Amino acid sequence: MALRIAVLISGTGSNLGALAQAIDEKTCDARIVAVLSDRASAQGLAFAAQRGVPTAVVAMRDYPDRAAWDLALADKVSEFAPELVVLAGFMRVLGAPLLERFPRRVINVHPALLPLFPGTTGPEQAIAARMRVSGCTVHVVDSGVDTGPIIAQGVVRVLPGDTADTLHERIRGAEHQLYPRVVDAIARGQVTLDPEVRVHGAIDDAVALLSPVFPAFPMSPPGAGASS
């Protein structure tokens, strides 16, 4: 039976779209039972509604404080009885109520190779650090910021002349490949999250597809500008 997933978004929901496409193509054994957002303006809500997926908005401004919002979010997600909560561009740090309601059943995709560059500026940090490679990380969500156990990673090359925006766009492409594969692997028992993350081989193939052996960078002579 397909894994019941609730997807949390704050914006366009491009990873939501990638998950939906993989489900349609029967390469991800999951069913999206709800899409929730902290923003009524999130474009991904319209995408979900067009597919007949129930949606809900839990906006922080509608609650007297953060603690009340945390509890309301946990209650609303629980109404849909998901087996896995999938963050897809959800721009809020989750509080204890949701994490305690779904222990080790909340995952996120982050646009950097954790533990490097946590937070909201992974691509910018990779550019500033002059990294040769960057990528994405799918991890279990815990009470920290991008500190939970790593499930899988995909690598992309940082090209000469890259900006944070161009790098982030390629990282999104890697996310769109990797995230549905991880959800599928969890659904099929090829990845287990309890009591710790265990990968039973299948997801390694997905990571390998995103991690080719890159040719060496062309090196500029001393004093020359970087090629673009």
* Matching residue, tokens 């939970």: 148
Q: Could you report the per-residue pLDDT of 46-100, keeping only the tens digit for each?
A: 999 999 999 999 999 999 999 999 999 999 999 999 999 999 999 999 999 999 9
Number of domains in the chain: 2
The alpha-carbon radius of gyration of the chain (Å, integer) is 18
Beta-strand ranges (E) seen in 61-105 are 84-87
Which one, of 47, 142, 166, lies nearest residue 87 by Cα?
142
Query: Do 147 and 201 sit in the same domain of this protein?
Result: yes
Of 75, 102, 129, the position where a domain reaches its end is 102
Whether residue 123 contacts residue 134, with contact meaning beta carbons closer than 8 Å, is answered with yes
Q: Domain residues for 125? A: 109-215
Read off the CATH number of the domain in which 4 is found.
3.40.50.170
User: pLDDT band at 207, cuts 50/70/90?
Assistant: low
pTM (predicted TM-score): 0.89
Final residue of a structural domain among 39, 73, 102 = 102
The amino acid that residue 226 corresponds to is A
Do 155 and 90 fall into the same domain? Answer: no
**Tell me, what's the pLDDT at 225?**
40
Angle between the N-to-C axes of helices 14-24 and 164-187, in degrees from 0 to 180, rounded to the nearest 10: 40
Q: Which residues participate in catalysis according to the annotation?
A: 110
